[in-house]
Amino acid sequence: MSRITEIFPQGQVSEAQEDLEAYSIKDQKTKTIVWPTDEEQLRQLLRYVIRTDTTILIKGSGTSQRVKQIPQNSIILDTSRKNKIIKADLKQKTATVEAGLLIKDLNDFLLDYGLEFPIKPDNPTSTIGGLIAVNGKTRRTARYPELIDWVEELEVMDGSGKLYSTKTVKDFIGSEGVNALILKAKIKLTEPIKKTRIQSYAFDHSLDVLEKIKDLEQDPTLLSLEMIEKTSSSILKEPERYFLLAEFTTEDLTSAEDMKLWKEVRDLHSILCQKGYDVIEDVKIPRENIPKILMWIRKNKIPARVDMSLGIIYLYFRKNQNTTIKELYLQTKKLEGNVNGCYGIGTQKKEYIEKELKEEVKELKQIYDPDNTLNRGIIL
């Protein structure tokens, strides 16, 4: 590790056994963990890994669902110490931030100024860089469907150490760090939504859900459309029906019954994890085919919730259901869906992604990281 310690001072590099175990998966051991704080450290690190044919695995806050394999003797690059708010332009409603900044910390800072970054994933420890890497989502996708609408500019470093400031953000959103290190982002802000109302609807048949959604989407105050299927309803001790929850911006009050169901659905993740359903899969299905995947979900008694605006389905499995998970991927492709909902592809789903997407990633990899230094084994 002598060369690495010349790049990173004490406290920014570790080979301590407890640190290595914390960053490893099962019996796949990492070699070294580094916590860079400036660009020159990153450049020197990249020169080192190219010379020694080592690979870098980029880590934000560790919320990724999809990295199930770590190349042996990888160097883990932890971005969590690059977490500064560089500039907040309150007049233009933009902020320039480092990639390791937690979205929660950013929004806590902006609260006093009457602004927020609206793409807020469920996990409060998600970072800006991690969100961009997997093209993450918020629950209010009826109002804020795409992250790319909220990212103006990125500063990235390619696999050779070259620095780019670019407005071609589409090359890096959802790329999972395979072509560049995301260092900084200039993002758009908006005023927080202060008052909302929840309305619930119950259905016996999924086709009726789709018909109702057509009506609800005509309402310009709509923020989100979320549904739980019948297995989840039963686990929540509700009638075995499809429950659709719509959120609106309005001064009207939410009924006590609807608020109770809303809170139950918000707690569904932790409830299912406590019951042993702690393997989460996400797929994206065309709306017209959602009834078909719901039939398969019902047949296999899989708890799930659905973002009806985007067609992203979050399914909860037990640890011994790997065969059923692979069947899910095949069903998704059969229904012209995408195995990547919003948690990324990682190492787990790469054999199931579309050929076109794989070719697109290969092209970007060749442009920005031809030596295959960054996140080797992810997606490709």
The span from the CA of 202 to the CA of 39, in Å, is 53
More confident residue, 52 or 298: 298
* Average per-residue pLDDT for the chain: 91
Task: Tell me the three state secondary structure of residue 50.
Answer: helix
> Under DSSP, is residue 153 helix (H, G, I), strand (E, B) or coil?
strand
pLDDT, tens digit (0-9, with 9 covering 90-100), for 177-196: 999 999 999 999 999 999 99
DSSP reduced 3-state for 230: helix
d(CA 232, CA 265): 9
**Which residues lie below 8 Å from residue 362, measured CB to CB, with a gap of 6+?**
380
How open is the CA angle 36-41-46, to the nearest 5 degrees? 105
Cβ neighbours of residue 155 under 8 Å, at least 6 residues apart? Answer: 163, 164, 165, 166, 182, 183, 184, 185
pLDDT score recorded for residue 174: 92
39, pLDDT greater than 90: yes
User: Rounded distance, CA 248 to CA 348, Å?
Assistant: 36
Q: What is the predicted pLDDT for the residue at 28?
A: 58
pLDDT digits (tens, 9 = 90+) for 91-101: 999 999 999 99
Residues 212-226 have pLDDT tens digits of 999 999 999 999 999
Task: Report whether pLDDT(80) > 80.
Answer: yes
pLDDT of residue 72: 60
pLDDT at residue 334, rounded to an integer: 96
Q: Which of 303, 289, 280, 278 is nearest to 331 (CA)?
A: 289
Q: Spell out the alpha helix ranges (H) of the chain.
A: 2-7, 17-23, 39-52, 103-110, 128-134, 206-216, 230-235, 256-266, 268-274, 290-299, 322-334, 355-368
Written as six digits, the tokens of 42 are 């990153």
Nearest to 80 by CA among 56, 105, 55: 105
Residue 276 in this model has a pLDDT that exceeds 60: yes
| pLDDT band at residue 67 under the 50/70/90 scheme | very low
Structure tokens that stand for 16 in this block: 């301590």
pLDDT the model gives residue 27: 56
DSSP 20-40: HHHH-BTTB-EEEEE---SHH
Q: Would you place residue 89 in the very low, low, confident or very high pLDDT band (cuts 50, 70, 90)?
A: very high
Q: Which residues contact 116 (CB under 8 A, 6 or more apart)?
A: 107, 110, 189, 190, 191, 192
DSSP 255: P
pLDDT at 131: 95
What's the pLDDT at 378? 82
Mean pLDDT of 256-278: 96
Task: Determine the pLDDT at residue 357.
Answer: 86
The pTM is what?
Answer: 0.91
Cβ–Cβ under 8 Å, residues 83 and 102 = yes
Q: Nearest to residue 131, comparing CAs of 88, 165, 97?
A: 97
R_g of the chain, CA atoms, integer Å: 22
> Rounded to whole angstroms, how far apart are CA atoms 122 and 268?
12
Question: Strand 279-284 to strand 242-249: parallel, antiparallel, or no bridges (unpaired)?
Answer: unpaired
For a pLDDT cut of 70, what percent of the chain falls above it? 94
Among residues 2, 174, 188, 183, which one has the least CA distance to residue 84?
A: 183
Amino acid symbol at 125 = T
Mean pLDDT of 274-292: 96
Query: What would the pLDDT profile of 106-131 be if each residue is shown by its tens digit?
Result: 999 999 999 999 999 988 789 999 99
